[in-house]
A and B are shown apart, each in its own frame.
Chain A
Amino acid sequence: MLKTIVETGNRVAGLAALTARAQVVAAYPITPQTQIVEKIAELVDSGKMNAEYICVESEHSAMSACIGASTVGVRTFTATSAHGLAYMHEMLQWASAARLPIVMAVVNRAMGPPWNIWTDHGDSLPQRDTGWIQIYCASNQEIFDSIIQAYRVCEDQRVLMPAMICLEGFILSHTNMPIKIPDQKEIDDFLPRFKPGWILDVENPVSHGNIVTPEYYMELRYYMHDALQKAKQLIPEVAREYSEKLGLPDYGGLIDKYMCDDAEVILVSMGTMGSEAKLTVKKLRAGGYRVGSARIRVFRPFPRETVREMGTRAKALAIIDRDISFGMEGILFTEIRSALFDLPKKPLTKNFIAGLGGRDVTQIDIEKIAKKTYQILETGVGVEGIDWVNIRR
């Protein structure tokens, strides 16, 4: 039985932690994530959520406390944004290398200075190499669904890796949307109790994390890579099962593709820009443009194979990054190009940087991006270089 409620993305993330029966939550407030910690504090305080809530004094400690709790075999949850995530960086690596399936909501926010509380992906994308699964959402429903599914994937004995569920600050975090929530019983059937991969147990003592020489270290890293490869198989399977059992949407697994099969130009993006891109596609299709939208939901593990399939069929990919790797290009663009590199026949790829620091990316902007890509295809002019959308120079 699905119940429809209207909630902000933040509160939905809190509800997902409740429904997933997270047992220890350790979090530190930061705009725009604060409603998540407030929601959970309220749920725990009122006895509606059977969990320990640790009000830590920093994000570094939030992740450290989640690590501590996870090592004694309990399900943990936290949430952060921007500087909080950066401050956690050391412990993100610790969590993944300790193979602890911690799930975290990351409310995407631009990094300072200057202070900016609005959204872009410049906080989570630099955490690319920490071993965390990264899922980017485009609706409040997807936040709920992704958090529940993440626990299933992360706690799978073949995976045992942590995941961050990314939602854009204000666009999702503070926007009320209707979402459908299944019964607790249905969630419990889908998401069984946490079985840890290893545990601190006085009956069977182990030293975890003591010095490992070069003789063993590399294998530990290989296993982490292997685990994320397995997660890549598992994420679409779990999403399909969830959708079938609970009657909720399947977002296409790793990539949310819309009208890509016969598309000449595919708009590649992440997060809510993908929703705008869909609407743009509808409009442009009516005008005779064969365009499609590919919203990369899962950035790590990276859906290399699906990207290559799209690259084989399409003439051009317009990659819209809400981030910039200074001195190079958009981070998503680099990933897409790397996946396409050894295709015998490569599509044209063009990088658009848009929406940094929360600047609005409208349908009109995306329409311009699509048309510009067509123009480059036809004229061959403007292939090189990054296109900064609406930049004032």
Chain B
Amino acid sequence: MSESAGVVNIVVAGLGGQGVLKASDIMADVAFRSGADVKKSEIHGMAQRGGSVTSDVRYGPQVLSPMVPEGQADYLVVLSQDQVEHNLWRLKSGGVLLEPQPAAPVAGMPAILDEISNKRSINVAMLGMLSVYLDIPQEVWIEAIKANLPEKLHEVNLQAFEQGRRQGEARRQAGR
């Protein structure tokens, strides 16, 4: 019986209506399509009405609890800058924080939220940034984005994903 060896822990955070759950759905689908065991967890209902929302995705050879344990997130992906601070406790020491409008710009690039044309695609743009850090082929991401969004939104979201990827690459090269 294994424990949580090799499990990647991701927390997506933002505000109700920003597409937190859509982002975690896509993320979970990406992991699922890559053949991994995957679990995703969140809460619905009253908690969602415009307030803070988080969703957990875990994948790896075998995932047990569906919730990322306290302070164990490898990646904290935040869709709204004001949602960063109170979610930092989820991140493990040395974990990667991905922000939409970080205080310190990366390699002279504008913040991702300022760069994308449609602000509603911030969830997919942030996934683009995350994708650079995860060992899953880009085609799988694109397949999952297409499968989880209506066709009329494919173009704008694939563009946002690509912009997020470029930012992620620059960020990663800067060692952050």
Query: Do A and B actually bind?
Result: no
Binding site for B on A (CB under 8 A): none
Binding site for A on B (CB under 8 A): none
